[in-house]
Chains A and B, each alone.
Chain A
């Protein structure tokens, strides 16, 4: 009987434990915390989850997650500066936005070419990117993909696919991170940094 009494709670704990960063123990702690703060945290959270579950969707233009059909970045005229930054996932778009340095629009591919996961070009949002280059008068495509084998293979693939458009294509620099110490860097990063060295301002 005691198990039946707790079955809803256990189901909630099990669901919470599937979230990234949580395990069974931390999920139990979170659920107990929410029950203690029923009015101030649990019910607002529940309402917000229901609301977002109904409204969250991928932006029809760029693939960003938004509660509108077209996200605020794509809707903003200020962001129409002729630059599109191609990223792998929405989390990469958010990381770029955190930096506050990029004033153009984005395009989320939704993955990278991956031989192991059998992800081919047809699984990426390439046709939409090609449409946007024409419809948004794009002058530069910035390939902000991960510096991994899969990421750079995808970058070269996109560069090949867009070569005929005549649009400028750039990619992010690779090298020493801000605050990084050479002694702790792997040899690949050091050689990439050395290849991409630049003249010292005088």
Chain B
């Protein structure tokens, strides 16, 4: 069994003395693992950093085996963000969240392209915070926990939407919320097409964070959500 594809490196972990197990979010084969022999060498280790764009060739005797990758670098996204704590934590959170949430070996071509586009935005520093927030909404959608922000769950159409139900993920208008308002999650305007502000970004990350940690994570076996996202949210809160 073998194939060749391109993708973004999400994580590497040591395997034996000289090798690593790499997680790559590929275009045609989804999130895929493989051993890279010599991955801790001076030549390969600088290339195998989270966020790197790789050309990988996967080979295994059987489809069910983990198999091994040979990897060639296409471009690194790390160097440009190393001195920017906010963008570095965003890239780290993007990779850790993807590695945690995405199914293995399931092709998600559209979402993969959106993930690479976000990584490129973080690398370039243009419009990345807004892109990150909408990427988390798309992640919830891809994993079956989509938020419905199109209309009020209590009727009343799309006007004056101000809250989201923490249980159903549906939007609720100010009038529809009534006395339940304090039990609902605030819906920031930036998620309804308004301009992005730091306060709005914090509120949006709190909203998506609730569904990632309280709904999605329990469905994946109840493991703790990656701390990299928490650190990113803290960085945004401090910005």
Residues of A at under 8 Å CB distance from B? 20-21, 113, 115-118, 120, 147-150, 152-153, 156-157, 159-160, 174, 186-189, 191-192, 195
Query: A160 to B238, Cβ gap below 8 A?
Result: yes
**In the complex where A149-B49, A157-B231, A160-B238 touch, is A115 in contact with B92 (Cβ < 8 A)?**
yes
Least CB separation from B13: chain A residue: A116
| Contacts A20-B17, A113-B231, A160-B238; A186 near B96 (Cβ below 8 A) | no
Once the chains are docked, how many angstroms separate the CA of A157 from the CA of B85?
8
Question: CB of B109 within 8 A of chain A?
Answer: no
Residues of A close to B46: CB separation below 8 A: 186, 188-189
Query: Which chain B residues numbered 159 to 216 have a C-beta less than 8 Å away from chain A?
Result: none
What total of A-B pairs shows CB separation below 8 Å? Answer: 71
A20 and chain B: residue at smallest CB distance: B17
- Complex contact A192–B13 (CB within 8 A): no
Which A residues touch B82, using CB under 8 A?
A: 147, 152, 174, 192
Q: Distance (Å) between the CB of B224 and the closest chain A CB?
A: 7
Q: Find out whether the CB atom of B89 lies under 8 angstroms from the CB atom of A189.
A: no
B91 CB-CB contact with A under 8 Å: yes
Can you name 24 A-B residue pairings with CB atoms under 8 Å?
A20-B17, A113-B227, A115-B11, A115-B95, A115-B226, A115-B227, A116-B12, A117-B13, A118-B227, A148-B49, A149-B78, A149-B92, A153-B89, A153-B231, A156-B85, A156-B89, A157-B231, A160-B238, A186-B46, A186-B73, A187-B75, A188-B49, A189-B79, A192-B79
Given contacts A152-B82, A153-B231, A156-B85, contact A116 B238 (CB under 8 A): no
Q: Say whether B92 contacts A153, CB under 8 Å.
A: yes
B226 nearest CB across to chain A (Å): 4
